Structure 1
Amino acid sequence: MNDISQVFSWIDNHREEVIDLLQRLVRVPSVNPWFLEEPGQRYEEQVQDLIAEELRFFGAVIDRWQPDPQDLSKYQGKPGYYPDHKFNGRPNQAGLIRGVGKGKSILLTGHVDVVKAGSDWSVDPFSAVRKDGKVIGRGVVDMKGGITAMISAIKAIYSVGFKNAGDICIGTVVDEEAGGMGTLAFVDRGYRADGCILTEPTDLTIAPLCRGILWGKLTIKGRSGHIELPQSDWRNGGAVDAIRLSRYFLDQFDVLNADWANRKTHPLLPMPCQVYVAQLNAGDYPTTFAGQAELVFNAQYLPAERDHNFLGGKVKKEIEDFITSVSQKDEWLIHNPPKVEWLIDADCAETPINHPFVETCKASLLQVTDKAVIEGIGSHTDMGWFVNVGIPTINFGPGKPSVAHQSDESLNEEDLIIATKVLAVIVMNWCGITKLSQ
C-alpha cells in the first residue's frame, strides 16, 4: 500500500471521527457578535479551545491572541480595518507544526465565526443533526466543514506514521463575517507560507480568484406633494416624484450593466460584474409623491481593478462618474444632484492558474476525484491579504456556497470526506512527508 493509500484508508476507517469533529464544532454557537443585539458570551473562544485540543495531537505550537484595533490602525483605509470592532474573548489562533526537512510550507486557514441562525429551521440550528447523509446546522458549510477537513487531513497523515517535511500552519480567525479583521490581524502577526488554502466552501472546486464587492446607497431627492391633486412645474414649487427618478436610474443601470457585461469579465467567472439594486426605499404616505428615494446596490469588481489600497476605489469613481453623467441629462437632478454613500468595500485577489501551487492543488485533486474544476468565486473571501503579502492562495473546501447563511444549512458527509482526502494529498505533495521513524 503506497503512502497516499494509507492516508485514504485511515480517513475511510475514521469517517465517524471526522464527522463527529464537525458536529462538535457546530454545536458551539460561535455567532459573530456583530449580528447580535446583545452579544453576551463570546463563543468563538470556545471553538478555538476545541481546535487547540485537536492540534495538540500533532504537537502543534499554539499561538493565541486577540486582535487589537489600535495596534492595527496603520491599516486604516485598507481592507479589513474597522476601528470600532471589539475582540474581548474573541481570539485568533495559529497552530504551527514544524517540518523535519526542506519541504515547502503551507497555511491552512478558515474563520470560526458564523452568522446568526435566523428562522425557518426544521431542526435546532446548533444541534448538528445527521439526516440523509448530511450534517445540518449553522456553519457546517461556512465554514466549519472546511476547518474539520483541514484538521482531519493532518491528523490522518500523522496517524499512519508520516510527518511533514515543510512547515504546516493551521490558522483559525475570528470576525470574517463582519469584515475580515481577524485575517488582517493574522497577517500582521507575521504568519507567512509558500502556499495558502482557505477552506471556504467551493463545492470541491479550486478557486484561485474571488471578486471584490461594493455596497452603495444612492439617495435621490424629490419634492413631496399631494398625489391626487394637479401639480405645477417643479420650478414653480410643484412636486417631483423621487420614485419616477428611481425608475430613471434603474433604466440607466441597465445600460451600464450592458456595457459591463462586455468589459468586466474573467475567464474563471461564469458571470460578469454588474450593478444590482437590492433595496428600494421611498415614500411616506399613499397620498404623497415621494420626496426622497434610496437605492441600495451591490456592485462587483475584479482583482485587476483594485486601487493602491487593494480596494475598489477605481470602480467607486467609475460608478460616481456614471451617476453624475446620468444626472446631467435631467434638469431637476442638475440642480439637486443625488448622493452616493459607500457602505462596504470587500476586497478581492487572484493567484495565476499556472502558479506551481495552483498546479499542485489541481494535480492533487485529480488523485482523489476524476475531475478538477478551476473556477473563481463571485463573492468575497479573505484571500486578499494573503495574496497582498506574496502568498499564492486558493479557496478550496466542501459544501455548496449557495447554502451558506440559509436556514437548514447542510453539508454532504461524503463531500467532507473527499475534501479531507484532497487536503491531505495537497499537503503531502506540496510539503513533502517522511516516516516518523526515519
Structure 2
Amino acid sequence: MNQQERIMQWIDGHHDEIIEFLQQLIQIPSVNPWFFEEAAPSKEKDVQEFIAKKLSGLGAEIEMWEPVADDLKQYEGMAGYYPGRDFSGRPNLAATFGQGAAGKSLLLFGHIDVVKAGSKWTVDPFGAEVINGKLFGRGAVDMKGGVAAMIMAVEAIVRSGVKLKGPVIVGTVVDEEAGGMGALDFVHHGYRADACILTEPTSLTIAPLCRGILWGKLKIQGRSGHIEMPQTDWQAGGAVDAVKKARLFLDQFDLLNEDWAVRKTHPLLPIPCQVHVAQFNAGEYPTSFANQAEIVFNAQYLPSERDEKLVGGHVKKELEEFIHNIAKTDPWLSENMPEIEWMVDADCAETEVSHPFVQTCVQSLQAIGLEGKIEGLGFHTDMGWLVNVGIPTVNFGPGDPRLAHHSDEFTPVDEVIDAVKMIAKTILDWCETEEA
C-alpha cells in the first residue's frame, strides 16, 4: 500500500471522528462581536484554543497572538484596516508542521468567526446536528466545514506516518465577517507560503478568484410636512418627500445594472457585477413626509478594477459621479446633494488558472473522482492579502456558499469527507513526500 492509499484509508476509517471535530467547532459560538449591539465576550478565543490543542497534539509549532490595530496603521486606506478595532480575547493562530523543511510550502487558511445566528431556525443553530446526511449549524458552511476539513487532512497525513518535504502552515484568523482585519494582520505578522488553499465554501469547485464588495449608504434629504395636507412648492417652504426622491435613484440603479451586466463580467463568474439595494430606511411618522431616506446597497467589483491601494476606489468614484449626475437632474436634489457613506470595501483577488498550483488542485479533485470544475466566487474572501504578497491562492471547501448566513445553514457530510481527501491529496502532491 503506497502513502496516498494509506492516507485515504485513514480518512475512510475515521469519518465519524472528522464529523465530530466539525461538530465541536460549531458548538463553540464564535460570533464576531461586530454583530452585537452591545459589547459581549467573544468565543473566538475558545475556538482558537480548541484548534491549538488539536494541532499541538499532532506535533505542530503553535503561535497565537492578538492583532493590534495601532500596529497596522501603515495599511490605512487599504483592505482590512479599521482603526481602533479591539481584538482583546480574539487571537489569530498559526500552526506550522515541518518548520524549516526545504520543499514547497503550503498554507491552509480559514476564518473561525461566524455571523450571529439570527431567526427562523428549526434546529439549534449551535447544536451541530446531523440530519439525513446534512450537518446543521451556524458556520457549517461559512466556514467551519472548511476549517475542519483542512485540519483533518493534516491529521490524516500525520497519523499515516507520511513525512513531507515541505512545511505546512495551518492559519486560522478572526474578523473576516467584519472586513478581514485578521487576515491582514496574519500577513503583516510575516507568514508566507508557496501556495495557499483558503477553505471557504465552494461546493467543492476550485475558485481562484473572488470579487470585491462595496457597502454604501446613500442618504437622500427631504423636508417633512403633514402628509394629509396640501403643500406649497418646496422653494416656498413646502414639504419634500424623501421617499419620492429615493425612487429616482432606485430606477436609475436598474439602468446602471443593465450597463454593468455588459461591461463588468468575468469568464469565471456566472453573474456580472451589480448594484443591489439591500435596505431602505425612511420616514419618522405615518403622518409626515419623510425627512430623509437611506438606501443601503451592495456593489461588486473585479480584480481588474482595483485602484492603487488594491481596493475599490475607482468603482467608488464611478458610483459617486453617477449619484451626482442623477441629483443634478432634480432642482431639490441639486441644492440638497445626496451623500454616500462608504461602510465596507472588501477586496478581491485572482490567481491565473494556468498557475501550477491551480492545476495541482484540479488534478487532486479529479483524483478523488470529482469533476475538477473551476469557477470564481461572487463574494469576498480573505484571499486578497495573500495574493497581494505573492501567495498563489485558491478557494476550495465543502458547502454551498448560497447557504452561508442562512437560517438552517448546513453542509452535506459527504462533501466534508471529500474536501478532506482533496486537501490531503494536494498536500502530498504540492509539498511532496520523503520516501517511505
SS of the aligned residue for 2:25 comes to helix
Distance 1:269 1:49 in 2: 37
Contact 2:70–2:84 (Cα < 8 Å) also in 1: no
Distance 1:90 1:370 in 2: 37
How far off is 1:323 after superposition? 0.9
How far off is 1:239 after superposition? 2.4
Contact 2:281–2:294 (Cα < 8 Å) also in 1: yes
Contact 2:162–2:433 (Cα < 8 Å) also in 1: yes
Contact 2:18–2:152 (Cα < 8 Å) also in 1: yes
Distance 2:274 2:364 in 1: 34
Contact 1:99–1:163 (Cα < 8 Å) also in 2: no
Distance 2:113 2:165 in 1: 31
How far off is 1:393 after superposition? 0.6
Contact 1:202–1:398 (Cα < 8 Å) also in 2: yes
Distance 2:221 2:44 in 1: 43
Structure 1 residues 228 and 127: CA distance shift in structure 2, 3 A: closer
The aligned residue for residue 266 of structure 2 is 266
The aligned residue for residue 221 of structure 1 is 221
Distance 2:281 2:31 in 1: 29
Q: Equivalences for 1:379-398 in 2 at 5 Å?
A: 379-398=379-398
SS of the aligned residue for 1:216 comes to strand
Contact 1:77–1:309 (Cα < 8 Å) also in 2: yes
Contact 1:27–1:128 (Cα < 8 Å) also in 2: yes
How far off is 1:99 after superposition? 6.3
How far off is 1:265 after superposition? 0.5
Q: Determine if the alignment matches structure 1 residue 53 to structure 2 residue 56.
A: no
How far off is 1:68 after superposition? 0.8
Structure 1 residues 101 and 86: CA distance shift in structure 2, 3 A: closer
Contact 1:156–1:424 (Cα < 8 Å) also in 2: yes
Count of residue pairs the alignment pairs up: 436
The aligned residue for residue 162 of structure 1 is 162
The aligned residue for residue 181 of structure 1 is 181
Contact 1:99–1:164 (Cα < 8 Å) also in 2: no
**Structure 1 residue identity aligned to 2:2:** N
How far off is 1:38 after superposition? 4.7
How far off is 1:114 after superposition? 1.3
The aligned residue for residue 244 of structure 2 is 244
The aligned residue for residue 200 of structure 1 is 200
Distance 1:359 1:143 in 2: 24
Q: Equivalences for 1:32-181 in 2 at 5 Å?
A: 32-98=32-98, 102-181=102-181
SS of the aligned residue for 1:30 comes to coil
Q: Equivalences for 1:271-282 in 2 at 5 Å?
A: 271-282=271-282
**Structure 2 residue identity aligned to 1:268:** L
Q: Equivalences for 1:413-424 in 2 at 5 Å?
A: 413-424=413-424
The aligned residue for residue 371 of structure 1 is 371
Distance 2:39 2:60 in 1: 31
How far off is 1:282 after superposition? 1.6
**Structure 1 residue identity aligned to 2:69:** P
The aligned residue for residue 314 of structure 1 is 314
Distance 1:417 1:231 in 2: 66
SS of the aligned residue for 1:109 comes to strand
Q: Determine if the alignment matches structure 1 residue 254 to structure 2 residue 266.
A: no
How far off is 1:174 after superposition? 1.1
Distance 1:300 1:315 in 2: 9
**Structure 1 residue identity aligned to 2:26:** V
Farther-moved stretch of structure 1 (311-320 vs 64-73): 64-73
User: What are the Cα deviations for residues 118-168 of structure 1, in whole angstroms up to 9, with x where unaligned?
Assistant: 222222222212211122111121111111111111111122221111111
Distance 2:229 2:133 in 1: 63
The aligned residue for residue 409 of structure 2 is 409
Give the unaligned 5+ runs of structure 2: none
**Structure 1 residue identity aligned to 2:178:** A
Distance 2:286 2:399 in 1: 46
SS of the aligned residue for 1:380 comes to coil
User: What are the Cα deviations for residues 232-280 of structure 1, in whole angstroms up to 9, with x where unaligned?
Assistant: 3222223222222111111111111111111001111111111111111
User: What are the Cα deviations for residues 34-75 of structure 1, in whole angstroms up to 9, with x where unaligned?
Assistant: 223454443222211221222124321111111111111211
The aligned residue for residue 344 of structure 2 is 344
Distance 2:244 2:42 in 1: 47
User: What are the Cα deviations for residues 167-210 of structure 1, in whole angstroms up to 9, with x where unaligned?
Assistant: 11000111111211111110011000010111011110111111
The aligned residue for residue 16 of structure 1 is 16
Distance 1:287 1:407 in 2: 36
Structure 1 residues 27 and 158: CA distance shift in structure 2, 3 A: same
**Structure 2 residue identity aligned to 1:427:** I
Structure 1 residues 272 and 340: CA distance shift in structure 2, 3 A: same
How far off is 1:339 after superposition? 1.2
Farther-moved stretch of structure 1 (290-299 vs 374-383): 290-299
Q: RMSD between aligned alpha carbons?
A: 1.6
How far off is 1:377 after superposition? 0.8
**Structure 1 residue identity aligned to 2:408:** D
Q: Equivalences for 1:324-363 in 2 at 5 Å?
A: 324-363=324-363
**Structure 2 residue identity aligned to 1:20:** E
Percent of residue pairs bearing the same amino acid type = 59
SS of the aligned residue for 1:184 comes to helix
Distance 2:38 2:247 in 1: 39
Contact 1:100–1:164 (Cα < 8 Å) also in 2: no
Contact 1:57–1:155 (Cα < 8 Å) also in 2: no
Distance 1:325 1:67 in 2: 42
How far off is 1:228 after superposition? 2.8
Distance 1:381 1:194 in 2: 19
Distance 1:70 1:242 in 2: 40
User: What are the Cα deviations for residues 84-115 of structure 1, in whole angstroms up to 9, with x where unaligned?
Assistant: 21112211110111168643110001111111
